[in-house]
Amino acid sequence: MSTTKNYHWRIAGFYFFYYAFVGMFSPYWSLYLQSIGFGAIEIGILMSIQPVMRMVAPGIWGWLADHTGKRLLVVQVAASLSALFYLGVFATTSFWGLFLVLSLMSFFWSASMPLVEATTMSFLGKNTAHYGRIRSWGSIGFIVAVVGLGYAFDYIAIAWLLWAGLVCEVGILIFARQIPATSVQAHHTDHQPIRQIVLQPRVLALFGACFLMSVAHGPYYTFYSIYLVEHGYTKGVVGMLWALGVICEIGVFFLMPKLVSRFGFTRILLASFGAAVLRFLLIGWAVDVVVLLLFAQVLHALTFGSFHAASVGLVHQFFQGRHQSRGQALYGSFTYGAGGMLGGLASGPIWQHWGASALYTFSAGMALLGLFLMWWKLRNMAENRAPVA
C-alpha cells in the first residue's frame, strides 16, 4: 500500500519531467529552428504553437475530466499521444511539417498540467500553501535540462535537442501512470454553471492580469536565448542564466507557506507584477551589464515563482468541487495559452522591426497593465489565508 510520501514523489516525478521538457523547449528550440534556416517571424510562429494549444486544449480536456470523473485516465491518454506525435520532429525540418507535428504534440502535451495541478491541490487538501514544495521538483527538472543542455551544446550539435525532448516525453508518460487518484469533495457551488464563477469581477480581473503577465513573458521565452547569444554569451552561460532564475524560483516555492500566511495571495501577486516591470526593462536595456542581467534573473523568483504559486492558489479558492479541473484548465487557457500566444506572435515583428530593447519594453508595459488591473479589482479582496502545517 502506498503512503502519502510515496504519492508525493509520484506527483513530483511528473512535474520533474514535464518541466524538464519546458527547460529543453523554451530556451533552445528557437536556437534549433534558427540552425535549420528559419527567420524571426517563422520562429515566432512555430514557438507560438504551444501557447495556442495551451489556450485551446485545456478547456476541452478539463471538461472531459470533470464530465467523466476520470481525471487520471485523461492525463495518461494525453501523455501517451503527446509522446507518439513528438516522434514527428525526427521526420521533418520543413515549416509546415513542423507546424503540424508541434500542433499535434502540443494539443496533447498541454492537456496534462491543469489536471495534475487540480490533482495536486486535491491531494494537499487544506495545506495548499505547500503546493510549491511539490511544484519545486518541476523547477529542478527545468534546471537539469537547461544547464545540462546549455553546456552540451557548446560541444555537440543543437540537433541533439530532439533526443533530449524524447527522453522528457518518455519520463512524462511513465509518471503519468504513477500519479495517485484523488477524490473531489462536494461544494455548494457544484450546482452552478461554471460561467457564473468565471464572470465574477474578481475572477475576470485575475484571469486578465495573468493573461497580461503571460504576454509579457512571451518575448522572454521566444527570443531571450537568441538575444543573449547575439550579445556574445556562450550557450553554457545562457543555460546558467536560465537556471539562476529557476533556482531562485525554487527558493520562493519553499518559502510560500510563510509568505502566504503573512501576506496572502493577492499581495504576493501585486509584488510579482511590480518585479516583472523592472525585470523586463533591465533585460531590454542592460543586457551588457552582467550584474544587472544577473539581478534580472533573480527576479524570476517573483515574476514566475511566487506569481505562479499564488495565482494557482487563488484559482483553487475560486473554483471548488466539481469545477476544479475546468477552473485550472481555464486559467491555463487564458494565461499561459492565450497570453503566451499573443506574446510569442508579437515578438517576431517587434524584434525584426524595432529591436530587442523595444520588445522587452513592450513586456514591461504588459506587466504594468496587469499590475494596474490587479490593484483595481483585487487589492481589497478578503482572503482565507492558507494554513501552514
Report the distance separating Cα 265 and Cα 205, nearest Å.
14
Architecture category of domain 8-179+192-378 in CATH: Up-down Bundle (1.20)
> For the chain, what is the mean pLDDT?
86
For the segment 32-49, the average pLDDT, to the nearest whole number, is 88
Determine the pLDDT at residue 335.
87
pLDDT bin (cut points 50, 70, 90) of residue 185 is low
Predicted confidence (pLDDT) at residue 306 exceeds the cutoff of 90 = yes
Q: Which amino acid is at 40?
A: A
Determine the pLDDT at residue 3.
46
The better pLDDT of the pair 34, 9 is held by 34
Report the distance separating Cα 113 and Cα 367, nearest Å.
24
Neighbours of 227 (CB within 10 A): 22
Express each pLDDT in 45-85 by its tens digit.
Answer: 898 888 788 788 877 877 787 777 777 888 899 999 999 99
Determine the pLDDT at residue 381.
62
**Domain residue ranges of the chain, discontinuous segments joined by +:** 8-179+192-378
Q: Taking every pair of C-alpha atoms in the chain, what is the biggest distance, in angstroms? A: 60
Express each pLDDT in 74-127 by its tens digit.
Answer: 889 999 999 999 999 999 999 999 999 999 999 998 878 877 877 777 777 666
Report the distance separating Cα 33 and Cα 255, nearest Å.
37
List, as one string, the DSSP characters of 165-216.
HHHHHHHHHHHHTTPPP-PPPP-TTTTS-HHHHHTSHHHHHHHHHHHHHHHH
pTM for the model: 0.76
For the chain, percent helix, then strand, then coil, each to nearest 5?
85, 0, 15
Helix axes 235-285, 4-35, angle to 10 degrees: 80
Report the distance separating Cα 40 and Cα 18, nearest Å.
27
Specify the residue for cell string 529542478: 140
Q: Are 30 and 224 in contact (CB under 8 A)?
A: no
Q: Which amino acid is at 94?
A: S
264: left (phi over 0), alpha (psi -120 to 50) or beta: left
pLDDT bin (cut points 50, 70, 90) of residue 382 is very low
Q: Which amino acid is at 311?
A: S
The better pLDDT of the pair 305, 340 is held by 305
In the chain, pLDDT over 70 holds for what percent of residues?
Answer: 90
